[in-house]
Amino acid sequence: HPKALLRAIQEDGDYLLKLSNQHIVSSDQFTQNGLLQLFRLAAKYEANPRRFSTSLQGKILISAFYEPSTRTRLSFESAWHRLGGDIMSITDRSTTGIAKGECLADVAEMFNNYGDCVVLRDNNETSLEEMVDSLRIPIINAGNGSDEHPTQALADLYAMFKWRPELVTEEAAEHAVSVGIIGVPNKMRTVRSLIKLLCKFPNAIKELVIIHDDSVQDELFGQQQREQIEQAGISIRTATDLDKTLPDLDVIYINAISWEGETFNTYGKTFSLTAKSPLKEGAIILHPLARGAELSTDLDHTPHNWYFSQARGAVFLRMALLTCMVQRAERVIDVV
Ligand code: CP
């Protein structure tokens, strides 16, 4: 329940003021305390969702999604609506001047005139960079190619900490969990962002286990990514037999994107989860969704299903983030 997490985090509202008018591009931007304060505010919203329904009244969100999305777009839009704001959506870049060759810096300049915040999903990794210098309103990276998806990672960690609030306390090491990631971390934007956040809570992680096929052993991490994990002091283990590894894991993170195309046809069936998988009692499965055949629907009605909670919590997490980015400081203090 969100209230247990709320109680576990001591309030320090000053950090939240620092997010005002900031762009959110990468998970690297957050500090441990900053994350805790965001989760605390998200838990506050989740515990009492109707209480703060007008704080973004008169503000306009530009929701620009140039790749398909169910959760990220709708949960950002739901969060904005729940805070009382208005929304303009672009779901197809070919309906904008970009189709006529307009440069992204000019599009960004126009966004300044029409809205108060932009959420952008683009398959092109560099679009954000091309817009940021021209923007005077904050922009949120909602997935840029295979690079990052920082707000998904925030939602992932928020779900994990609601499941085990002890992980945010000074006794975290006594309750540390083994986190298994199925697939190639360097190729999944949600995982790239999540690993950056896990590195801020090394005491909460007993070990990170990467479950993969032998053929991708050399592609698992980028150099920077590996260095970041090592510097955080988190131990990494790799494994190729999912069923032998599952009984050791407290959190299993699986993602459809890791099994794209040929890879899924070749290895997907070996690395899929079903209700018959030998999961540890009390273990949770996280999946950013949309799912493919790697996550069987027969798990939906088991206690291992935390992926639906993960998606639901994203609304409150995004409410917290938007509040801090777009509201005036005195109103953030009121909410905190
Ligand atoms: N988790 C996630 O990014 O889902 P969508 O692609 O539906 O937004």
Domain holding 327: CATH number? Answer: 3.40.50.1370
CB 123 within 8 A of CB 310: no
Both 115 and 200 in a single domain? no
Both 161 and 45 in a single domain? no
With a cut of 90, say whether residue 329 has pLDDT above it.
no
Both 25 and 67 in a single domain? yes
Both 95 and 19 in a single domain? yes
Main-chain dihedrals φ then ψ at residue 141, nearest 5 degrees: -75, 110
Q: 209: part of which helix (H) or strand (E)? A: strand 205-211
- What average pLDDT score do residues 205-210 get? 98
Tell me what the pLDDT averaged over the chain comes to.
93
What tens digit of pLDDT does each residue of 133-183 get?
999 999 999 999 999 999 999 999 999 999 999 999 999 999 999 999 999
Decide whether any atom of ligand 1 lies within 6 Å of the 305 Cβ.
Answer: no
Both 187 and 129 in a single domain? no
Structural domains counted in the chain: 2
- What average pLDDT score do residues 79-90 get? 95
With a cut of 60, say whether residue 260 has pLDDT above it.
no
Both 57 and 38 in a single domain? yes
Q: Domain span at residue 21? A: 2-147+314-335
- Does the model's ipTM exceed the 0.95 cut? yes
What tens digit of pLDDT does each residue of 69-79 get?
999 999 999 99
- Direct distance between the N- and C-terminal alpha carbons of the chain, in angstroms, rounded to an integer: 19
Residue 8 forms beta bridges with which residues? Answer: none
Both 155 and 195 in a single domain? yes
Both 250 and 190 in a single domain? yes
Both 16 and 125 in a single domain? yes
Decide whether any atom of ligand 1 lies within 6 Å of the 82 Cβ.
Answer: no
- Pocket test of ligand 1: the residue of 66, 67, 70, 76 to mutate, having most ligand atoms within 8 Å of its CB, is 70
Q: List the residue whose alpha carbon is closest to atom 1 of ligand 1.
A: 288
With a cut of 60, say whether residue 257 has pLDDT above it.
no
Both 126 and 269 in a single domain? no
* Total-model pTM: 0.96
